[in-house]
Amino acid sequence: MTSALRSPARASARELPDPESSSKETPILRLLALLELIARKDAPFTLQNLVQDTQWPKPSLHRMLAQLEASGLLQRDVKGRHYSTGQRLTRLAENVLLNSTTRAARHRVLRLLVDQAGESCNLTSFSAGEVLYLDRVETVAPLRFYLHSGSRVPAHCSATGKLFLSQMTPSQRQKLWDAGPLEKFTDRTLVDVERLDKEITKVRSQGFAIDDEEFLPGLLCIGVLVPSLDPKDNKTNMGIALQAPKVRFGLERAMQCLPLLQNAAQALSRINQSASNDEDELL
């Protein structure tokens, strides 16, 4: 689903329909336009924030937020002032990614990467503080770790998870750390926040991440992010990674496969861009 709101900060009056207008814009389309704006926010927001962003009348926005909250698409904090995305909206976004019409094209990219590298490959996104597997292609090698589409793994000890965390501000990550102690899955899992923040800073600088037996003993994974479609905002919610038993896929071999991984990420970005252009033509 392509957003008609090109700026992540503030939408102009030209980009958003007037909720009080008598044009052909239906109430449903106006709610969708508002959801597109909300989906770009990376922190809880207030009614007044949306008034400033949209320049819409406050009573109209209040009514629309009440409808979205009642449907489970939005939720409010315990004090009732700040809104954030609800579980229903999160699940909707996940299902769109899992069942996208471009899934077959993306799957072919993953299949080619597995053929080239000889190891299993994951396509992932960041959802509700975890890494969600959107797609996966397994190697034909008899020794492998099996995970399926729809699987979830912790962000702090996975390759693409650390990449997603590297796009967040320190205060945003701190909210995740404050939610509870990080689980230690192996002796190599980073659960000390200071050490983990240093690792995430390193990941952001180098542009790739390694999971060296941090989630499962004997498993090594290397991942990169799929480049964003928006030239004004380089954040992305799609990553790709190679994953294999360390007995045959050590750090040296993983680094040899990094160019293949980066090429696959660029190919996925082009597929996403093509799908976005096709959707824009339909609007």
Residue at a domain's end among 85, 117, 137: 85
State the pLDDT confidence band at 14, using cuts at 50, 70 and 90. Answer: very low
Residue at a domain's end among 35, 57, 85: 85
Q: Does 67 share its domain with 171?
A: no
| Structural domain range at position 28 | 1-85
For residue range 214-241, what is the model confidence (pLDDT) as tens digits?
999 999 999 999 998 776 778 899 999 9
Question: What is the sign, positive or negative, of the torsion defined by CA atoms of 92, 97, 103, 105?
Answer: positive
pLDDT at 281 over 60: no
What is the C-alpha to C-alpha distance for residues 168 and 177, in angstroms, rounded to an integer? 13
**What are the C-alpha distances in Å from 227 to residues 180, 265, 266?**
31, 7, 7
State the pLDDT confidence band at 4, using cuts at 50, 70 and 90. Answer: very low
Residue at a domain's end among 46, 66, 85: 85
pLDDT at 150 over 80: no
For residue range 26-80, what is the model confidence (pLDDT) as tens digits?
788 888 888 888 887 777 889 899 988 888 999 989 899 988 888 888 888 877 8
Average pLDDT, the chain: 84
Alpha helices in the chain (DSSP H): 27-39, 47-54, 58-70, 87-98, 103-117, 159-166, 170-178, 193-206, 251-282
30, 64 Cβ separation under 8 angstroms: yes
pLDDT at 212 over 60: yes
Cα 3 versus chain centre, distance: 15
238, 270 Cβ separation under 8 angstroms: no
Q: Does 142 share its domain with 256?
A: yes
**What are the C-alpha distances in Å from 43 to residues 18, 151, 165?**
25, 25, 14
Q: Does 60 share its domain with 176?
A: no
Structure tokens at 32: 């969708």
170, 197 Cβ separation under 8 angstroms: yes
pLDDT at 17 over 70: no
Structure tokens at 231: 């030239």
What is the C-alpha to C-alpha distance for residues 246 and 255, in angstroms, rounded to an integer? 13
Regarding predicted confidence, which is higher, 282 or 45?
45
What is the C-alpha to C-alpha distance for residues 70 and 49, in angstroms, rounded to an integer? 20
